[in-house]
Amino acid sequence: MSPACANGDDRARPRRLDLRIFVGWFGRPSAPRTLQPHRINVAKPHTRTAVWSLVRTLPEFRRLLELRAVSLFGDGLFQGGLAGALLFNPERAASPWAVAGAFAVLFLPYSLLGPFAGALLDRWDRRLVLVGATLARLILVLGVATLLAIGASDLTILCGALMVNGFNRFVSSGLSAALPHVVPRDKVVTSNSAATAVGAAATFLGANFMLVPRWLVGTGDSGSATIIFIVALPVALALLLAYRFKPHVLGPEDGGRAVHGSVAYAVATGWGYGIRTVVGVRTVGATLAGLAAHRVAFGINTLLVLVIVRHAGSTDVGGFGTAVVFVAAAGLGSFLANFVTPPAVRRWGRYATANGALGFAAIIQLGAASLHLPMMVGCGFLLGAAGQVVKLCADSAMQIDVADAMRGHVFTVQDSVFWLSFVSAIAATAAVIPGDGHAPGLVIAGSVAYLLGLAAHAVIGRGAKPSD
């Protein structure tokens, strides 16, 4: 396999610009390419045209996009409603440690158990798993709404929300693992970017739509319960969309099981097989290291914004809206990155693209050291874009370089890395952040995290070759 192919390029063409000018030794470790005399270089179609062609000609891919959009709209609405109910509710208090504790209860348990459950995605019909998980989501969402309506304690509500989040992320991992079954292999990067863009837009719309009923029904427990009851509508629609797939169309492949033995054995060894696959496929390990660095910095920035907003004494719709704007800015940056990443990967390869994104993020992170909210929102936009580039490179590595029989395992490991890094950063930040949130040193720590992620990605991924 040529160095060009090893780094995500599928064409051989003369290098028009020496990438090492920009990324030094972190650039793609390959010799200059020469034009192949027997091949004619034909320009790639515009990404938007290519995506539309995939949607139009591949009905199963279109159905997968529809399911992702509806499911993540409901997820965004649920997360926004839950944050409003617990963090910006005048009937409930939320200190930095309370915020850290809420995130820990919501995300740590499944992050530790997810890779065990991920084995089921590689053993059972993924369509059946999606239907069952979405049905469980629907029942649990109604339960959480009921708990809010009767004024249950924070811990009780968080335990219910924990189970909802677990099934939310199980569905998300299943959708990502199933994507290579509904598109040609050479279209995985483009189709994954399209699917991620659709999901990001749906999550953004769901989280912001939450502000409308919050403004109409109030910010207390009864208003928050109403919002969570509304979440049941998109989840019920997602259940219908998941049910209409044909059996086994989403994988896993018959006869390709990598973990033999009983279901109990496969689940019990899920973490071990997932980690072993990540370590064995260097392109996956490298991008997960960079993704972890991004989530550490994002966790630091998130708690800083929440504490600064709450210190201003605003827990109403306007105050919550300020926090939502920060998250929305990062989401918008992530959305736009889905259009930038495919041509960047075609031009420079996954390795150099992820290196450039991490280096760019380390510089932008320093711009938030002033702790002025408008500046932090602007930096959040750019950091969201850079982080999404890294995540798309990680997704592509898992969808292309990992065998289908282990793909569910590694996607759940990625999910664990994603949230463990985020929650750990929030907990560490809560231990040192002052009451008013004025801690520019924490912003600098986020930049250091990006630099460490860049070094890890460059060292682990240098010279790595994706498998067939």
What pLDDT is recorded for position 445? 96
- 468 belongs to a structural domain: no
The span from the CA of 160 to the CA of 146, in Å, is 10
DSSP H or E segment with residue 102? helix 96-118
The span from the CA of 189 to the CA of 395, in Å, is 8
Q: DSSP string of 251-294?
A: -PPTT--SS-S-HHHHHHTHHHHHHHHHHH-HHHHHHHHHHHHH
Residuewise pLDDT in 10s, the chain (468 residues): 444 444 444 433 434 434 333 333 344 444 333 333 333 333 344 556 667 777 788 889 999 999 999 999 999 899 888 877 877 665 565 677 777 877 887 778 777 777 766 677 777 888 999 999 999 999 999 999 999 999 888 888 888 988 898 888 888 888 888 888 888 887 887 888 888 888 888 988 888 888 888 888 877 778 889 999 999 999 999 999 999 999 888 888 765 555 666 666 666 666 788 888 898 899 999 999 999 999 999 999 999 988 888 766 554 544 566 777 888 888 889 888 988 998 999 899 999 999 999 999 999 999 999 888 889 999 999 999 999 999 999 998 998 898 887 887 888 888 889 989 999 999 999 999 987 888 999 999 999 999 999 999 999 998 776 544
- 191 belongs to a structural domain: yes
Count of Cβ atoms closer than 10 Å to residue 383 Cβ: 29
Picking from 250, 248, 380, the residue whose alpha carbon sits closest to that of residue 327 is: 380
In eight-state DSSP terms, residue 394 is: H
- 4 belongs to a structural domain: no
- 39 belongs to a structural domain: no
How many separate domains does the chain show? 1
Decide: 402 and 357 in contact? Cβ < 8 Å.
no
- 7 belongs to a structural domain: no
CATH number, domain of 133, equals: 1.20.1250.20
Determine whether 318 is exposed, middle or buried from the number of CB atoms within 10 Å of its CB (0-12, 13-18, 19+).
exposed
The span from the CA of 411 to the CA of 408, in Å, is 5
The span from the CA of 359 to the CA of 111, in Å, is 27
- 412 belongs to a structural domain: yes
- 143 belongs to a structural domain: yes
What pLDDT is recorded for position 68? 94
What pLDDT is recorded for position 229? 95
Which structural domain range is residue 425 located in? 60-461
What pLDDT is recorded for position 93? 56
Whether residue 252 is preceded by a cis peptide bond, meaning omega within 30 degrees of 0, is: yes
Picking from 205, 228, 140, 126, the residue whose alpha carbon sits closest to that of residue 170 is: 126
- 6 belongs to a structural domain: no
